[in-house]
Structure 1
Amino acid sequence: MGIYGALSTAVSGLRAQAFALENISGNIANSQTTGYKRMETGFIDMVTDAAVGRQVAGAVSAYSRSTNDVRGDIINSSTGTHVALTGSGFFVVGERTGMSDGNSIIGGSNFYTRRGDFEMDREGYLVNGAGYYLKGVPIGATGNPIGSVPETIKIDNGVIPARETSRINYGLNLPADPAVGLYTGGLTDISGLDLEPFKEASLNGGAITTFASNGAPVQVELRWAKTDDAPDTWQLYYQTASDPERWLAVDDAVATFNANGTLATLNGDPIGANQVANITMGGIEVNGTTLGDVELNFGTGGLTQFANTSGRASDIQLFQNGFPAGSFLGVEISDAGRVVATYSNGEQVDLYQLVTADFNAANMLKRLDGGVYAATTQSGEPIFSLEGGIAGSALEASNTDISDEFTKLIVTQQAYAASTRIVSTSDEMLREALNMVR
């Protein structure tokens, strides 16, 4: 039995080294495949049952060992929809299961991949080089993800409709000692002969382009006039017409200030140190175009009366939330994992939040074609997260080390050759034994 045992053991060695060679071959072949995870080979010794003094080394069996938890190098990409994972986890993707009326049907099953070379196809899906469709969670109107269940990302490349301005964030400092005197006109509607005295007794408060419901631009110009010294009181005006010129007082925009320059009251309401100050400009109309009600938000500490040597309003900051209609220009994935669409009106809209999936035993995932994996009972169920480490405009390279694979190739070749010598020697010894009988 010794010769036969040696022969059987040598054959198991041949099988094991051939198995290792297959893994090495696959690793080298995929050394340039995006997101590829190399396969290592492990060996198990198989010992026959015998008394301690009669045990022999035994045969060998080979098995594959995944390296799904070993990250490849992160390389920059010029494509905005390429994305890499800087931490553990996987992108959640789906596969196309068929076509209906020329449109793709995406199956409901989730698969997982580190391959992030996604690009938008003709239908608006983000598809990687292996043909798998990226999934994420939609972003709502508040800018927050809606739910946590990933769905296939599909981007509408149509026109984004205009959004009417509903809020203006406004900040400025009115001078404690203005370069103009008190405005004593006492008028809320100023035009004609009253214009010159009004302008001489008021300060420029900035201008901003807002947008009507149809996307028409509306230039809103603002001025402040100091109307009292005890306490320091200011009134806000806006230009409602430019030809002929006409200014209207904003009814609720009467501000008083404390001696230290902080806002005391707005529209007669006391304002605390950390209180948000805002008013509503009702029914704004400029040159015949109606904006409707607009919230004027000064935030906390945005409206002040500190000393200013120029005697003019300073630190003017204006931002509004409206925009005209715009056509789709492109899409990219940010470092925060947001799928962001860009439009010709300069707007960028967050559409989806990418979802990453972690596993308690990532190396127990089942490997499928195209660098994707399926969950197994050994890997456990996916743990979804909206906060996975993501790098936009980047790709993860294969984690195969060519030099290391060539080293393993040489060792495997030598081990295989040595096993063939055992087979040859066993065969010769077996022939000697048979010849002895003859």
Structure 2
Amino acid sequence: MSITSALYSATSGLTAQSKALASISSNIANSSTTGYKSTGTSFQSFINQTSAVDEQVGGVIAYNYRNVSAQGEIQSSTTTTNLAINGSGFFAVSDDSSDGDIVYTRNGSFSTDSDGNLVNSEGNYLYGWALDSTGSIAANNRNSIDSLEAINTTTVKGTPKATSSLELDANLPSDAATGDTFTSDVEVFDALGNSHSIALTWTKTGDNAWELDAADPTLSSDSGTTTGDISGFPITITFNEDGSLASSSASSFSIGDWTTGAGDSTISLDLGTADGTDGLTQYASGEDEPEIGDFAFDQDGYEPGTLTGTTIDENGIVSATFDNGETRAVYQIPIVTFANADGLDSETGSVFTQTAASGQYQLHTAGDGSAGEVKSSALESSTVEMTDEFSRMIIAQQAYTAASKVVTTADEMLTTLISMKR
């Protein structure tokens, strides 16, 4: 090997170790970047064989690469819309909330912006499948990124629900006299979300026997305004000798001709289990003037609600919650996988783009096949390990110093060679 060849080998070593130091520097700078994938440096020997009998001379070539498929540690977060992927895959995001170019990221630091979009710390909008009223994916071709749209919860409106079931819990006083009556009120909703009040009348008709009647509904806000015609009453109720419910003559009632314009309602009536005490009971009140005890009702209707929050489960289902108690699934977040995730191209920020080396994208629901699961209220930390980076830095520094010594030595030898002519 000639002096100039040695000089070339040494300078290639300097260049290679400079690349390694750049990789180390980038990793350390991004040690706290959410979803960041650390880079490494691969060294390859470069040989230049000038003849069959001459020595092989050359140097080294360095390549930086990114460990895209590495799993970062998942850490809890107080923000419910912060997301992490436990396993393989990426979130589909775009820098545009309307038909933007899709890129892929593990940075799940999403929060709701002023327009209701889920946006991460890098300004990328989270894309997902819109769900229909049954909670199923609405798109016909769920395998294409064209089926995705920016997730926006402000477009979701609360819908009313007509009361379809009514549960009654109460103790009817066994020490009441035959013919005694008691009243109580329940609230129901029509299909348009209007609230109505129904007055119930309980009449003791004999030993262990009662009759339940109901008046036509009125507006909850105005008891003087009748709003519909009720049918299915009166209902006969009997009790066993131990005070448990024996039977009732009906299990539902209807309300028609709503003055609000709502459709007719059929409401199931649950008074408790036969021979049980989970609904109506008949025990002594222990009062000089007996009265109904522990009266409570539960019905499943509600008025139109106002959006109060967003929840995301491990299946990537985005649900809107409303102040009326309604919870509705509105989007599903896909997990995007690639045959070779390490073949993705890195872009500014923590996003990646598809390449020929990565293979075609595949859209999955969370946990399906090779796709990871979604963790809400969590973030994936950077995959940078500081102890490894400092170890690499020491090695790169020593190698760089050694290569520089070769350069200075070769320079001295060339100087000596030139001085021989003087």
Shorter chain as normaliser: what TM range? 0.7 to 0.9
Q: Is the deviation greater in 304-313 or in 136-145? A: 304-313
Q: How does 1:26-41 map to 2 (within 5 A)?
A: 26-41=26-41
* Residues 211-234 of structure 1, C-alpha deviations (whole Å, 9 max, x = no match): 22443323457799999xxxxx99
Question: 2:264: which partner in 1?
Answer: 292
Question: 1:113: which partner in 2?
Answer: 105
DSSP 3-state at the match of 2:19: helix
Question: 2:160: which partner in 1?
Answer: 163
DSSP 3-state at the match of 1:63: strand
Give 1:337's aligned amino acid.
G
Asked whether 1:218 is paired with 2:196, we answer: yes
Asked whether 1:374 is paired with 2:350, we answer: no
The runs of 5 or more residues in structure 1 that have no matched partner are 97-104, 181-194, 228-232, 268-278
Provide the alpha-carbon RMSD of the alignment: 4.5
Asked whether 1:385 is paired with 2:367, we answer: no
Asked whether 1:133 is paired with 2:109, we answer: no
1:428 aligns with one of 405, 408, 412: 412
Question: 1:240: which partner in 2?
Answer: 216
DSSP 3-state at the match of 1:18: helix
DSSP 3-state at the match of 1:92: strand
Structure 1 distance, partners of 2:88, 2:15, is 34
CA contact (8 A) 1:136 1:151 kept: yes
The 1:220–1:65 alpha-carbon spacing in structure 2 relative to 1, beyond 3 Å, is farther
Q: Is the deviation greater in 2-11 or in 333-342? A: 333-342
Question: 2:89: which partner in 1?
Answer: 89
Question: 1:346: which partner in 2?
Answer: 325
Cα deviation for residue 63 of structure 1 reads: 1.0
Structure 2 distance, partners of 1:55, 1:236, is 108
1:402 aligns with one of 373, 386, 396: 386
CA contact (8 A) 2:162 2:193 kept: no
Count, aligned residues: 390
Structure 1 distance, partners of 2:74, 2:107, is 12
Question: 1:331: which partner in 2?
Answer: 310
Structure 2 distance, partners of 1:92, 1:264, is 57
DSSP 3-state at the match of 2:308: strand
* Alignment TM-score, normalising by the size of structure 2: 0.75
CA contact (8 A) 1:212 1:289 kept: no
Give 1:42's aligned amino acid.
S
DSSP 3-state at the match of 2:69: coil
Structure 2 distance, partners of 1:198, 1:57, is 112
CA contact (8 A) 2:5 2:57 kept: no
* Residues 145-182 of structure 1, C-alpha deviations (whole Å, 9 max, x = no match): 32333211122268x455141522759999xxx979xx
2:274 aligns with one of 293, 299, 305: 305
More strand by share: 1
Give 1:376's aligned amino acid.
T
CA contact (8 A) 1:172 1:317 kept: yes
Asked whether 1:150 is paired with 2:148, we answer: yes
Cα deviation for residue 114 of structure 1 reads: 0.7
Question: 1:357: which partner in 2?
Answer: 336
Cα deviation for residue 65 of structure 1 reads: 2.2
Give 1:400's aligned amino acid.
V
Structure 2 distance, partners of 1:363, 1:317, is 60
DSSP 3-state at the match of 1:410: helix
CA contact (8 A) 2:6 2:410 kept: yes
Structure 2 distance, partners of 1:71, 1:167, is 48
DSSP 3-state at the match of 2:232: strand
* Residues 105-149 of structure 1, C-alpha deviations (whole Å, 9 max, x = no match): 634321100111112222222111111111011122112332333
* Residues 379-418 of structure 1, C-alpha deviations (whole Å, 9 max, x = no match): 1111111224112122112111222212211111111111
The runs of 5 or more residues in structure 2 that have no matched partner are 239-243, 284-294, 367-371
Cα deviation for residue 16 of structure 1 reads: 0.7
Q: Is the deviation greater in 370-379 or in 45-54? A: 45-54
Question: 1:65: which partner in 2?
Answer: 65
Structure 2 distance, partners of 1:116, 1:209, is 43
Cα deviation for residue 89 of structure 1 reads: 0.9
Structure 2 distance, partners of 1:217, 1:320, is 12
Cα deviation for residue 435 of structure 1 reads: 3.5
Structure 1 distance, partners of 2:55, 2:359, is 39
The 1:253–1:5 alpha-carbon spacing in structure 2 relative to 1, beyond 3 Å, is farther
Structure 2 distance, partners of 1:70, 1:365, is 13
Give 1:342's aligned amino acid.
T
